[in-house]
Amino acid sequence: MSDIGLFAAFVIGLAGGVHCFGMCGGITLALQSAVPAGKHSYAYTLAYHFGRIFSYAAAGALAGAIGSIATHASPFGFSVLSALSAVLLILLGCYIGQWYMGLSRLEQLGGVVWRQFQPLAKRFVPFKTPLHSIAYGAVWGFLPCGLVYSTLSWALTTGSWSRGALVMLAFGAGTLPAMLAVSFGAKSASVVFRHHITRQLIAVLLVSFGLYLIFTLFKNIN
């Protein structure tokens, strides 16, 4: 995985901040009530996001390992996975732009798995230490999210568990600005991320990148 690939994963996370506000904004704000009285929330908030991104990296490692097996098992494995990644990225752009909401069906399927994890989160609140906040974040990292699923499909194409983990780490780092803005009450940032024009620009960016990946794939095949 090149530095450019990791940077692109970071940008996708950054661009997906619009989606993060809708999916996780309320959860992040609710964290404040789980912090022990008299304690500063900063350490607990950062610990939560560390746990969330750790879950992304673990899922990326698994996706990378599965992708490696699929690639070696079939000569068409890499091409198929790359096409899947590009299509999901395009669907994500359409979803954020609210042009086509088909990706919500994938989130609904993910909800079946999420319902198995969600009860675990209750065991860690209220937070006694930042470690409880890390564990809480690790559980919430499995929240059904089209943005995460789209990037995981990219991790499938990396060819190894370590590269898959790096892609998701870069993606997770990209989501931090939006999530921290919510956590620390940056209202001006919230207005920017929620603005209709912002959503449309990000949607166009993601769809364009997905189309570029498809173009590159067919160019390499030919």
Residue 133: name the closest of 38, 40, 60 by CA: 40
Name 198's Cβ contacts closer than 8 Å, sequence gap at least 6: 18, 192
Domain count, the chain: 1
In angstroms, rounded to a whole number, what is the distance separating the alpha carbons of residues 19 and 213?
22
- Which range marks the domain in which residue 100 is found? 3-221
Per-residue pLDDT of the chain in tens (222 residues, 90 and over written 9): 455 578 878 888 877 766 665 556 556 656 766 777 767 778 888 898 899 999 999 999 999 999 999 888 888 888 888 888 889 889 988 988 889 988 888 888 888 888 887 788 788 888 888 898 899 889 888 888 888 888 898 898 888 999 999 999 999 998 888 777 776 665 566 666 667 787 788 888 889 888 988 888 888 776
**Geometric angle at alpha carbon 179, from 127 and 52, rounded to 5°:** 55
Q: Are 152 and 60 in contact (CB under 8 A)?
A: yes
